[in-house]
């Protein structure tokens, strides 16, 4: 069995979509909770050294979120709406407020691999190839991988 330690991030060549795949030593329920519990989410999201504060969080069908992060003296804010929240799938919009016209539609799925392992698949449909490519060149890869490494450590410690 191949164990992934970093996320695989790819750009679809025919659509403005980013695909992210990452395996975790955790159950689907643990990953779902880490993505929907605001206290847990704030502990792992973003690059190393980021201090995340949740401003609003309602992880339910029709709910919304807004959070901010400070890293290296830079402040960032993100917001979106939860369209579908199920234990195996989350569908949401996602906007970095630095690019407020570029809203992505994101789908996250939690695939049980057995043996206490789960594969997270995330798909972000951007509104243009230019927006997708701007995200990819923004340092997104290090933010994703740093965040998922923090999530690994949090889950290894029992999730709290």
Domains of the chain with bracketed CATH:
8-156 (3.30.530.20)
Which residues have C-beta within 8 Å of that of residue 132, sequence separation ≥ 6?
11, 16, 17, 18, 124, 126
pTM over the 0.85 mark: yes
- Give the pLDDT of residue 74: 87
What is the pLDDT tens value at each position of the chain, 160 positions in all?
334 468 999 999 999 999 999 999 999 999 999 999 999 999 999 888 989 999 999 999 999 999 999 988 889 999 999 999 999 999 999 999 988 888 999 999 999 999 999 999 999 999 999 999 988 988 788 889 999 999 999 998 875 5
Q: What is the phi/psi pair of residue 35, to 5°?
A: -95, -15
The Cα 6–Cα 148 span in angstroms is 8
Q: What is the phi/psi pair of residue 128, to 5°?
A: -165, 160
- Give the pLDDT of residue 57: 98
- Give the pLDDT of residue 73: 87
């Amino acid at each position: 069995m191949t164990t992934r330690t970093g996320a695989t991030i790819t750009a679809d060549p025919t659509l403005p979509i980013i695909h992210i795949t990452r395996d975790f030593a955790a159950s689907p329920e643990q990953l779902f909770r880490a993505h929907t519990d605001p206290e847990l989410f704030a502990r792992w999201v973003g690059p190393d050294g980021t201090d995340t504060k949740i401003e609003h969080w309602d992880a339910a069908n029709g709910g919304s979120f807004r959070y901010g992060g400070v890293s290296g003296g830079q402040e960032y804010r993100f917001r979106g709406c939860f369209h579908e929240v199920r234990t195996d799938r989350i569908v949401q919009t996602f906007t970095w407020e630095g690019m407020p016209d570029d809203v992505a539609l994101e789908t996250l799925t939690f695939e049980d691999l057995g043996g206490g392992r789960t594969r997270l698949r995330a798909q972000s449909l951007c509104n243009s190839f230019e927006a997708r490519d701007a995200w990819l060149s923004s340092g997104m890869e290090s933010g994703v991988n740093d965040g998922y490494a923090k999530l690994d450590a949090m889950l290894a410690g029992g999730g709290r």
